[in-house]
């Protein structure tokens, strides 16, 4: 039987690189039988990625829509990890799959920030508990009419683009991702390290006054495993029909930003790098200046929202995250040490 051809974007990135290495390490006979085309922007990336199962293809970038559509039409599966925000590339990849005369699968990467504004509330408000068996697309539609957000708009466009066609779409929606990636290029995502670096710069960690944000986390290895578990299910004979389309949550737990910054404070004070173990309470505006380039809306979405995303659909597929709260807490320590080594950045 001909090998199933999978097109992957973002193979040099943190998530995409880890997805690629996890695909290549999979022992599933279905996954071992796929061939992978990895779209990359530079020759040196292609040179590092090429192998018997990976064919790198150099392209100009996600705005090269003609190429994306053409290349996607030559594959049965597209895994798009390069950006959750780039609507046109998602549309072009889906349009390419739609040129095929058979069922095909589009796996998209999004993020739970899309839902954050549903939970922004007063400090004593309940944590909003969402599961992916609810109609999350409808929630995204409602939020989008109130205030547009590109990553959310892309999800909605993905779902409307595939409607009524033979392309099935699966949107993986990670919360805060942490841990060392296993790809050949980007190994980390900067969020916690940047926060530690900011504490070092000011001599004290900081938390947002009168806010108590709670959000999910997932280790990048667990996240990548979900892509592989999903793909394996889609490739199994007769199983694809039972895999529901749409949003897939993948949170392995939640963390509280106040406690996260307290941990940074404790580590820094213990190591005589910070003047106090207690974070300094700062205003939302100051936090936005320090942590989100002055963007108060993004700051509130990332650090003030209070919600959890229970991954019921992923669990139904058999996905089980291996990393737990201890790994998350250890990551804060690791990130602090990394910030100490590169104090000038950020």
Ligand X SMILES: NC(=O)c1ccc[n+]([C@@H]2O[C@H](COP(=O)([O-])OP(=O)(O)OC[C@H]3O[C@@H](n4cnc5c(N)ncnc54)[C@H](OP(=O)(O)O)[C@@H]3O)[C@@H](O)[C@H]2O)c1
- Tell me how far apart the alpha carbons of residues 151 and 115 are, in angstroms, rounded to a whole number: 10
User: Shortest Cβ contact with ligand X: which residue?
Assistant: 13
**Three-state DSSP class for residue 70:** helix
Taking the complex as a whole, the smallest distance from the CB of residue 283 to ligand X amounts, in Å, to 25
Please state, as a whole number, how many other Cβ atoms lie within 10 Å of the Cβ of residue 297.
14
**Which of 16, 56, 265, 311 is in the footprint of ligand X by CB under 6 A?**
16
Detail the DSSP E strand segments found in the chain: 5-9, 35-40, 54-58, 77-80, 104-109, 128-131, 167-173, 176-178, 206-208, 214-219, 246-249, 253-256, 280-282, 307-310
Is position 111 an interface residue for ligand X (rule: CB under 6 A)?
Answer: yes
Taking the complex as a whole, the smallest distance from the CB of residue 163 to ligand X amounts, in Å, to 22
Question: Looking at beta carbons only, is 94 or 235 nearer to ligand X?
Answer: 94
Report residue 157 CA to chain centroid gap: 18
What is the DSSP secondary-structure string of 272-286?
Answer: T-SS-SSPEEE-HHH
Which string of b and e fits 185-221 if b means at least 16 CB within 10 Å? Answer: bbebbeebbbbbbbbbeeebbbbbeebbbbbbbbbbb
- Tell me how far apart the alpha carbons of residues 204 and 261 are, in angstroms, rounded to a whole number: 10
Taking the complex as a whole, the smallest distance from the CB of residue 68 to ligand X amounts, in Å, to 10
Question: Looking at beta carbons only, is 57 or 123 nearer to ligand X?
Answer: 57
Contact characters 73-92, ligand X, x per CB under 6 A:
--------xxxxx-------
Q: Residues in the chain, how many?
A: 346
Taking the complex as a whole, the smallest distance from the CB of residue 42 to ligand X amounts, in Å, to 6
Residue with tokens 């694809």: 240
Taking the complex as a whole, the smallest distance from the CB of residue 80 to ligand X amounts, in Å, to 9
Contact characters 39-58, ligand X, x per CB under 6 A:
--x-----------------
Is position 180 an interface residue for ligand X (rule: CB under 6 A)?
Answer: no
Question: Looking at beta carbons only, is 14 or 336 nearer to ligand X?
Answer: 14
Question: Looking at beta carbons only, is 45 or 204 nearer to ligand X?
Answer: 45
Residue count, binding to ligand X (CB under 6 A): 24
Restricting to residues 136-165, name those near ligand X by CB under 6 A.
151
Instruction: Give the interface with ligand X as residue ranges (CB under 6 A).
Output: 10, 12-16, 41, 61-62, 81-85, 109-111, 151, 174, 176-177, 185-186, 189
């Amino acid at each position: 039987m001909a090998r199933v051809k999978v097109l992957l974007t973002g193979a040099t990135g943190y998530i995409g690189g880890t997805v690629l290495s996890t695909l290549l390490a999979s022992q599933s006979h279905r996954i071992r039988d796929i061939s992978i085309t990895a779209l990359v922007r530079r020759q040196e990336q292609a040179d590092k990625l090429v192998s018997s199962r990976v064919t790198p293809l150099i392209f100009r970038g996600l705005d090269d829509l003609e190429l994306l559509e053409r290349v996607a039409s030559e594959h049965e599966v597209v895994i798009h990890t390069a950006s959750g925000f780039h609507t046109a590339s998602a549309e072009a990849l889906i349009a390419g799959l739609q040129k095929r005369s058979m069922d095909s699968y589009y796996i998209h990467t999004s993020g739970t920030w899309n839902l954050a504004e549903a939970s922004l509330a007063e400090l004593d408000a309940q944590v909003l508990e969402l599961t992916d068996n609810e109609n999350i697309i409808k929630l995204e539609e409602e939020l989008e009419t109130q205030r547009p957000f590109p990553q959310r708009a892309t999800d909605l466009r993905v779902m409307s683009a595939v409607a009524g066609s033979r392309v099935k779409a699966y949107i993986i929606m990670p919360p805060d991702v942490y841990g060392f990636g296993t790809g050949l290029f980007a190994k980390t995502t900067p969020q916690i390290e940047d926060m530690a670096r900011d504490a070092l710069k000011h001599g004290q960690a900081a938390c947002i006054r009168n806010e108590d944000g709670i959000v999910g986390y997932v280790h990048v290895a667990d996240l990548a495993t979900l892509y592989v578990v999903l793909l394996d299910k889609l490739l199994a004979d007769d199983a694809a029909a039972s895999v529901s389309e749409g949003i897939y949550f993948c949170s392995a737990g939640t963390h509280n930003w106040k406690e996260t910054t307290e941990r940074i404070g404790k580590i820094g004070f213990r190591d005589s790098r910070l003047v106090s173990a207690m974070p300094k309470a700062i205003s939302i505006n100051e936090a936005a200046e320090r942590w989100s380039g002055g963007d108060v809306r993004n700051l509130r979405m990332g650090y003030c929202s209070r919600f959890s995303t229970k991954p019921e659909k992923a669990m139904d597929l058999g996905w089980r995250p291996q990393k737990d709260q201890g790994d998350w807490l250890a990551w804060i320590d690791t990130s602090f040490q990394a910030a100490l080594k590169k104090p000038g950045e950020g």
